[in-house]
Structure 1
Amino acid sequence: MPHQLDIVYFSWVKERLGRAQETVVCPETVHTIGELIGSLKASDALYQDVFSDLKKLRFALDQDFVGLDAPLGNAKELAIFPPVTGG
């Protein structure tokens, strides 16, 4: 059964993609955040550009900070954003 996931984008990621969020159906071969990002990059040159340096991004799965190797499981939401700095 396909897994549907809401992706929410913040800051320059949102600006460069031209959208604040989208819903994707994860391919059955996708099990981690890294694999999902790879699938998105393979689908469109815009994703290739925005996700070209993953060290500049942070990820939260259902509001918990995680790494690229985190399993998607039954998560409902993935947030993608640059590191937050304080002042």
Structure 2
Amino acid sequence: MSVTVLFLGPLRDLAGVPQAEYPAPLDWDGLLAAVPPAVAEQLREPRVHVACAGKVLSDKADLAAQNGEEVALLPPVSGG
């Protein structure tokens, strides 16, 4: 039983991998404990968003990923 976590953009560089599997279920505190410390630090920033099962969470602390679900870590988007 696991949750797939996708590290996107610069978060991929900090994690050193494009994705990782973590035990399910996975909540916000579990995510922060599971990912590398540099990624966890970025996740605490308000401009970094989290999506679970294809839906961006309005409050990251509401994360409740179940077995087989995908969590995407979304860095800030820039552009012009």
User: Normalising by the residue count of structure 1, what TM-score does the alignment of the two structures yield?
Assistant: 0.70
Instruction: Select the structure with the greater relative contact order (CA < 8 A; seq sep ≥ 6).
Output: 2
Q: How many residues align?
A: 76
Cα distance in 2 between the residues matched to 1:50 and 1:69: 16
Gaps of 5+ in 2: none
1:79–1:31 Cα change, 3 Å: closer
Q: Which moved more, 1:6-15 or 1:65-74?
A: 65-74
Does the alignment pair 1:18 with 2:16? yes
Offset of residue 82 of structure 1: 0.8
Equivalent residue letter for 1:59: V
Letter in 2 for 1:82: P
Superposed CA deviations along residues 5-33 of structure 1, whole A, max 9, x for unmatched, are: 0111100100111111111113xxx652x
2-structure distance, mates of 1:25, 1:31: 7
Give the TM-score, by structure 2 length: 0.75
* Correspondence 1:48-63 to 2 at 5 A: 48-53=37-42, 54-55=44-45, 56-63=47-54
- For the pair shown, the structure with the greater C-alpha radius of gyration is 1
Structure 1 residues not aligned, in runs of 5+: 42-46
Q: Which moved more, 1:50-59 or 1:66-75?
A: 66-75
